[in-house]
């Protein structure tokens, strides 16, 4: 997302609009959802110059023309991997040790049975 | 005056007939029964045809891997002689990162063949990326309608990642706030564009999953000399269970037990704006799994091709914390860093394998890709930001939307059996309530309901009598 507030024709932008006002929404929604309008965001190439918040038309990747309020210019993504939670970081070390211990014990049993001392 | 919403919904039948690419009316037998197998066969593609189409589309043929370290981990705490061998079909190796490519490849094939200019699908999950990827290869336009944000414009990171991937493949992504009217907007777009509705629930899509079941049966035969004793399937809308089970049967694996698995999200409302971002899973959970199993025809097609109760022998639930634990374990023990939905079945499989003899074979039939947003670290950080408590402890103390409890030890991973009898009753109640007032089920209806629940006509008669008695 750039900090630009003005787009030029052809820029990749995002527009926002209300698809259904509260009064137009489906019946039977949970109260929290019913209290909000249904909003929609679509990205496309700006068809004119505009400032953030202006009504503008965009042409989407499928060639549809959609109008809405300009909500972002060069909209990008910022989701991440997060940071390692303390509840998770020990798992790898613990489990590798457990598998190794299990195999060592199994090998000892198998080795013990096959050893000459055990056999004679 | 009718609202815009009501006007479009009133034209639903007309819009869908054009958009579905097939006529469902010919399979109807009455208010309850319909010809399921007739509907599934109508496209005329054999399993071999579908394999050919998918090979050309770059889909399927994913590796089947034995997980020896995970198996030994389970054996380290199972009773002596117990701890089944665990395998996984690495479906993340598909181009868009999940088994959903199998579904999408068939819808796209049909769209291209029938001359549609593009496709539309309503999905917040992997299916969107799969449709977008396949559409790009076929030179078709693609619109994906997604429920992405709550009313604060905060997006579930996993869904935001899906927006990104769909756009990466050249799709137009229509992002919306929470609400079932997503379907209304999809109808508006189908009407405006004349594109094919690439429903997750069409016979094309569900047939596309049959290759997964068939492949894994053959690969297990080659590896162990027999089809698997158990296949564990992450379950939401039911296509995964249905298609996999049908494919196994086609490949002759008729005695394999089909175990569906979902993350327990009981108590959270799927259409609630506030609950929307209090869940760490966007699919493979009971919020879809139970309603779709007990009423498949709630889908965006007249008759749903995904009818999971026909095929599931058991339905296991696991908690969010258990799946995150197993996701980390799989990466560290097996070198497989994979996403949350596939690992739902993996968590259930670890619990199941512990209770099975060491010579049993358990196949987790899919993985999905992971990455920023989908990753378990990312999900746990987001949950904390939304006020959900994350702590270590006994996963039995997990409360969906309130507390995610990460197990401290693998022995604490314990899947819970969902009562299938309860699901059958609920399914029959739903089927009867959709028929006109006073309608008396015919013998054909009873046989249909028995097939659709994998029970017997006698069981259906008993359930109906029980429901009548109130
Ligand atoms: C990776 C993955 N696994 C499992 C599922 C569940 O499949 P279905 O909805 O067909 O039950 C989905 C879809 O939502 C998915 O994307």
Q: What is the pLDDT of residues A47-63, one digit of tens each?
A: 999 999 999 999 999 99
Residue B455, pLDDT > 70, answer: yes
CB distance B198 to B108 below 8 Å: yes
**Per-residue pLDDT averaged across B106-131, rounded?**
96
Question: Domain A6-73 falls in which CATH fold?
Answer: SH3 type barrels. (2.30.30)
- Torsion-angle region of A28 (φ positive above 0: left; ψ -120 to 50: alpha; else: beta): left
* pLDDT recorded at residue A2: 66
Cβ–ligand 1 contact at B107 (below 6 Å): no
Residue B203, pLDDT > 80, answer: yes
From the CA of B127, give the closest atom in ligand 1.
16
Question: How do residues B53-81 score in pLDDT, each as one tens digit?
Answer: 999 999 999 999 999 999 999 999 999 99
In a mutagenesis test of the B interface, which of A99, A104, A106, A110 is the best target, namely the one with the most B β-carbons within 10 Å?
A99
Q: For residue A68, what are the β-bridge partners?
A: A56
Put simply, the answer to whether A102 touches B73 (Cβ < 8 Å) is: yes
Question: How do residues B123-175 score in pLDDT, each as one tens digit?
Answer: 999 999 999 999 999 999 999 999 999 999 999 999 999 999 999 999 999 99
Question: How do residues A38-47 score in pLDDT, each as one tens digit?
Answer: 999 999 999 9
Residue B115, pLDDT > 50, answer: yes
Pairing of strands A65-73, A55-59: antiparallel
* pLDDT recorded at residue B292: 98
- Spatial neighbors of B179 by CB under 8 A, at least 6 apart, are A25, A26, A29, A33, A38, B147, B271, B273
pLDDT > 70 in chain B, percent: 100
* pLDDT recorded at residue B22: 86
The domain ranges of chain A are: 6-73, 84-120
Token readout for B26 is 């010919």
All residues of chain B having their beta carbon less than 8 Å from the beta carbon of residue A65 are: none
* pLDDT recorded at residue A116: 47
Cβ–ligand 1 contact at B234 (below 6 Å): yes
Length of chain B: 470
Report residue A110's pLDDT band, with 50, 70 and 90 as the boundaries. Answer: confident
Chain-centre distance for alpha carbon B4: 32
How much distance in Å is there from the Cα of A90 to the middle of ligand 1? 29
Buried b (16+ CB within 10 A) or exposed e, B273-296: bbbbbbbbbbbbbbbbbbbbbbbb
**Per-residue pLDDT averaged across B346-360, rounded?**
98
Cβ–ligand 1 contact at B150 (below 6 Å): no
CB distance B361 to B85 below 8 Å: yes
Token readout for B100 is 């959903």
Report residue B3's pLDDT band, with 50, 70 and 90 as the boundaries. Answer: confident
Report residue A118's pLDDT band, with 50, 70 and 90 as the boundaries. Answer: very low
Put simply, the answer to whether B380 touches A39 (Cβ < 8 Å) is: no
Cα separations in angstroms, B329 against A116, B69, B347, B442 = 39, 10, 10, 52
Question: How do residues B226-257 score in pLDDT, each as one tens digit?
Answer: 999 999 999 999 999 999 999 999 999 999 99
In a mutagenesis test of the A interface, which of B8, B12, B116, B172 is the best target, namely the one with the most A β-carbons within 10 Å?
B172
Question: How do residues B395-416 score in pLDDT, each as one tens digit?
Answer: 999 999 999 999 999 999 999 9
Put simply, the answer to whether B272 touches A99 (Cβ < 8 Å) is: no
A48-52, B121-125, B309-313, B345-349: range with lowest mean pLDDT: B121-125
Token readout for B24 is 């469902």
């Amino acid at each position: 997302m750039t900090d630009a507030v003005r787009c030029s024709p052809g820029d990749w932008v995002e527009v926002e609009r209300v698809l259904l006002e509260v009064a137009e929404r489906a019946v039977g929604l949970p109260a929290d959802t019913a209290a909000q309008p249904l909003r929609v965001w679509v990205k496309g190439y700006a068809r004119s110059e505009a400032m953030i918040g202006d009504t503008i038309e965009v042409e989407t990747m499928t060639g549809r023309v959609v109008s809405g309020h300009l909500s972002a210019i060069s909209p990008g993504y910022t989701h991440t991997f997060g940071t390692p939670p303390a509840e998770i970081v020990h798992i790898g070390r613990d489990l590798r040790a457990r598998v190794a211990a299990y195999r060592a014990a199994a090998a000892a049993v198998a080795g013990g049975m096959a050893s000459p001392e055990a056999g004679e | 005056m009718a609202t815009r919403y009501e006007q479009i919904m009133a034209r639903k039948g007309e819009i869908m007939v054009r958009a579905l690419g097939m006529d469902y009316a010919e399979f109807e037998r009455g208010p309850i029964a319909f010809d399921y197998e007739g509907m599934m066969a109508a496209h005329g593609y054999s399993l071999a045809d579908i394999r050919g189409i998918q090979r050309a589309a770059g889909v399927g043929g994913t590796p089947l891997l034995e997980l020896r370290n995970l198996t030994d981990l389970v054996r380290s705490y199972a009773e002596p002689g117990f701890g089944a061998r665990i395998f996984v079909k690495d479906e993340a190796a598909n181009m868009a990162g999940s088994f959903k490519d199998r579904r999408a490849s068939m819808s796209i094939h049909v769209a291209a063949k029938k001359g549609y200019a593009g496709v539309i699908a309503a999905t917040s999950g992997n299916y969107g990326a799969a449709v977008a990827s396949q559409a790009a290869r076929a030179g078709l336009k693609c619109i994906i309608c997604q429920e992405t944000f709550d009313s604060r414009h905060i997006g579930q990171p996993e869904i935001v990642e899906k927006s990104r991937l769909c756009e990466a493949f050249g799709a137009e992504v229509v992002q919306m706030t929470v609400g079932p009217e997503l379907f209304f907007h999809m109808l508006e777009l189908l009407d405006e564009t004349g594109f094919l509705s690439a429903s997750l629930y069409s016979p094309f899509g569900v047939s596309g999953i049959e290759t997964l079941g068939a492949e894994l049966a053959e690969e297990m035969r080659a590896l162990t000399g027999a089809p698997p004793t158990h296949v564990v399937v992450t379950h939401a809308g039911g296509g995964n269970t249905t298609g996999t089970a049908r494919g196994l049967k086609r490949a002759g694996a008729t005695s394999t037990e089909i175990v569906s698995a979902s993350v327990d999200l009981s108590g959270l409302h799927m259409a609630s704006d506030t609950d929307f971002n209090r869940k760490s899973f966007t699919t493979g959970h009971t919020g879809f799994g139970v309603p779709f199993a007990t009423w498949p025809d709630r889908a965006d097609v007249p008759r749903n091709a995904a009818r999971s109760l026909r095929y599931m022998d058991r339905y296991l639930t696991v908690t969010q914390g258990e799946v995150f634990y197993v996701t980390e374990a799989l990466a560290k023990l097996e070198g497989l860093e994979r996403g949350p939905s596939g690992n739902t079945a993996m968590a259930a499989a670890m619990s199941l394998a512990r209770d099975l003899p060491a010579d049993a074979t358990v196949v987790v039939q899919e993985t999905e890709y992971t990455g920023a947003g989908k990753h378990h670290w990312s999900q746990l950080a987001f949950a904390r930001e939304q006020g959900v408590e994350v702590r270590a402890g006994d996963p039995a103390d997990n409360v969906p939307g309130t507390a995610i409890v990460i197990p401290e030890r693998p022995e604490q991973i314990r899947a819970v059996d969902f009562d299938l009898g309860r699901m059958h009753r609920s399914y029959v109640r739903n089927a009867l309530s959709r028929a006109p007032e006073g309608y008396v089920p015919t013998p054909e209806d009873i046989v249909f309901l028995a097939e659709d629940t994998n029970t017997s006509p006698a069981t259906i008669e008993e359930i109906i009598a029980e429901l009548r008695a109130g």
